[in-house]
């Protein structure tokens, strides 16, 4: 049995509620979430994501290379 990508958003909300005991901020602020997704996608496409993470003072969670 495979899980389609269309079912994943509902699964994420359910797991946030039952496993972590909270609700994702996306549900409360869908427009901001969409705009930030586009910004992050653009930063990844142009290779500027690491620079943005460093600018914000955050440490990358996963190093691919």
Q: For position 45, what pLDDT does the model report?
A: 97
Tens digits of residue pLDDT in 17-37: 777 777 777 778 889 889 989
Question: For the chain, what are the domain ranges?
Answer: 30-56
pLDDT number for residue 2: 44
* Res 51 pLDDT > 60: yes
Q: Helix/strand/coil (H, E, C) string of 3-49?
A: CCHHHHHHHHHHHHHHHHCCCCHHHHCHHHHHHHHHHHHHHHHCCCH
Mean predicted lDDT score pLDDT of the chain: 75
The span from the CA of 45 to the CA of 42, in Å, is 5
Task: Answer yes or no: is pLDDT of 38 > 90.
Answer: yes
For residue 56, name the pLDDT band (cuts at 50, 70, 90): confident
Write the CB contacts of 3 (distance below 8 Å, at least 6 apart in sequence).
Answer: 11
């Amino acid at each position: 049995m495979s899980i389609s990508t269309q079912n994943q958003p509902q699964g994420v909300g359910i797991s946030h509620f039952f496993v972590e005991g909270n609700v994702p901020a996306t549900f409360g602020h869908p427009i901001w979430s969409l705009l930030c997704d586009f910004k992050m996608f653009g930063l990844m496409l142009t290779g500027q994501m690491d620079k943005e993470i460093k600018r914000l003072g955050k440490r990358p969670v996963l190093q691919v290379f």
